[in-house]
Amino acid sequence: MKTFEEIEALAIEKKGGADQLTALLAQNDYMKSPEELEKVGDDRWLAMFTKTIFQAGFSWKVIEKKWPGFEEAFEGFDTARLAFLPDEAFEELLHNKDIVRNAMKIKSVQANAVFLRDLAQEHGSASKFFAEYPVEDQIGLMELLKKRGSRLGGNSGQYALRFMGKESFILSRDVVNALIRENVIGNESMSKKNLNAIQAAFNHWRSTSGRSMNEISRILAFSVGPSH
């Protein structure tokens, strides 16, 4: 496994220089401090979970264009209301042309409202839970999202964490390919063994480079992605 400085040098070469890499890293920089993240309303977590779930396997641009309709249809993603969504309201959503009418994904909104309400009861707020969850155990957080949430396994949960501002990595195809190149993992399998190895590698690079998890995962992706 290379030092992170060596990996960053690969990304710099790919992207045409250190200034260009710095500019790319500054784009879409969503990261918030734990204090900022704790102040976010739990309704925004439900909204983001919903957005990334509906984007999965679908055009992100279409979901973004329709998003005001989602906000209206789900009444601002109030977790208290949506946790107890009556059958007639669900039926109305299935016929609402302002959203994407995927029954299983619509059902996930209610399930994730219950999940977030449970976190709020356990920790004071769901935002407080996510803000305080240790960055060094993202794999544990991903497992919790998969087990207790609905349709939040895989990249949907990871993208939600990133877009909400939680310091995190995303196991995109390019990142996974970089991890294989660095012999962190031997294949694309997201087995428990591989996930633990991934977490250990990210923790090592974070402690030795001073970079955030966001920056590390993006630099890994840039080191194997298309050249400038």
Over the stretch 34-82, which tens digit does the pLDDT of each residue have?
Answer: 999 999 999 999 999 999 999 999 999 999 999 999 999 999 999 999 9
Provide the token pair at 33: 């401090």
Distance linking the first and last C-alpha atoms of the chain: 25
**116 vs 41: CA distance, rounded Å:** 11
112, 150 Cβ separation under 8 angstroms: yes
Q: At which residue do the structure tokens 């920790």 appear?
A: 123
pLDDT the model gives residue 158 = 97
Q: Answer yes or no: is pLDDT of 225 > 90.
A: no
pLDDT the model gives residue 66 = 97
- pTM, two decimals, is 0.94
Average pLDDT over residues 3-32: 93
Q: Letter for the amino acid at 138?
A: Q
Three-state SS at 135? helix
155, 171 Cβ separation under 8 angstroms: yes
Task: Compute the mean pLDDT over every residue in the chain, rounded to the nearest whole number.
Answer: 96
40, 76 Cβ separation under 8 angstroms: no
Average pLDDT over residues 14-30: 92
Q: Answer yes or no: is pLDDT of 227 > 80.
A: no
Three-state SS at 125? coil
Non-local (6+) Cβ contacts of 215 within 8 A are 25
* pLDDT band, very low/low/confident/very high, at 226 (cuts 50, 70, 90): confident
52, 159 Cβ separation under 8 angstroms: yes
Q: Answer yes or no: is pLDDT of 7 > 90.
A: yes
* pLDDT band, very low/low/confident/very high, at 1 (cuts 50, 70, 90): confident
pLDDT digits (tens, 9 = 90+) for 107-165: 999 999 999 999 999 999 999 999 999 999 999 999 999 999 999 998 999 999 999 99
Domains of the chain by residue range: 4-31+169-224, 34-164
Average pLDDT over residues 78-101: 94
Q: Letter for the amino acid at 41?
A: G
List Cα–Cα distances, 143 to 3, 135, 175, in angstroms: 28, 14, 19
Q: Answer yes or no: is pLDDT of 216 > 80.
A: yes
Q: Answer yes or no: is pLDDT of 228 > 80.
A: no
Three-state SS at 64? helix
pLDDT the model gives residue 154 = 84
Phi-psi region of 166 (alpha: psi -120 to 50; beta: other; left: phi over 0): beta
CATH topology of domain 34-164: Endonuclease III; domain 1 (1.10.340)
